[in-house]
Amino acid sequence: MWDLFLSHYNYWIVIFLMMIGFYIVMSRHNLVKKLIGLNIFQTSVFLFYISVGKVSDGTAPIITQDISRYSNPLPHVLILTAIVVGVATTSLGLALVVRLKEAYGTIEEDEINDMDAAD
């Protein structure tokens, strides 16, 4: 039992981070805290893809006669692209939070919904 847990600790870390991020997104009403929760969730997905892309005793995919086990570089390339997209969406989300703060005077989701319902 413990050998299975310890040999796959990275997947347990992914699950733990994913659940923390999901909990923050669902339980908090502050928009900045929701963005932080989304970033934690996104980081867990990055770690998952990196863990899946790891090959024991694998080398770079350069074909030689001495090497028979290669590592797939595609998951790592996808993660680099996802990191760039994540930074862009986080900056867009923060810009929207700034505009909401200017328009409503608050960044609490409940207060913004109440103001919209009153109009």
Q: Kindly report the CATH number assigned to the domain that includes residue 114.
A: 1.10.287.3510
pLDDT of residue 7: 77
Is residue 29 assigned to a domain? yes
CB 74 within 8 A of CB 50: no
Write out the residue range of the structural domain in which residue 73 sits: 2-56+69-118
pLDDT tens string 4-49: 777 788 899 999 999 999 999 999 999 999 999 999 999 999 999 8
Domain count, the chain: 1
Is residue 32 assigned to a domain? yes
Distance, in Å, from the CA atom of 34 to the CA atom of 24, rounded to the nearest integer, reads 6
Strand, coil or helix: 59: strand
Is residue 76 assigned to a domain? yes
Mean pLDDT estimate for the chain: 89
Is residue 16 assigned to a domain? yes
Is residue 14 assigned to a domain? yes
1 C-beta neighbours (distance < 10 Å), count: 5
Lowest average pLDDT, out of 17-31, 75-89, 90-104, goes to 75-89
Please, which pLDDT band fits residue 72 given cuts at 50, 70 and 90? confident
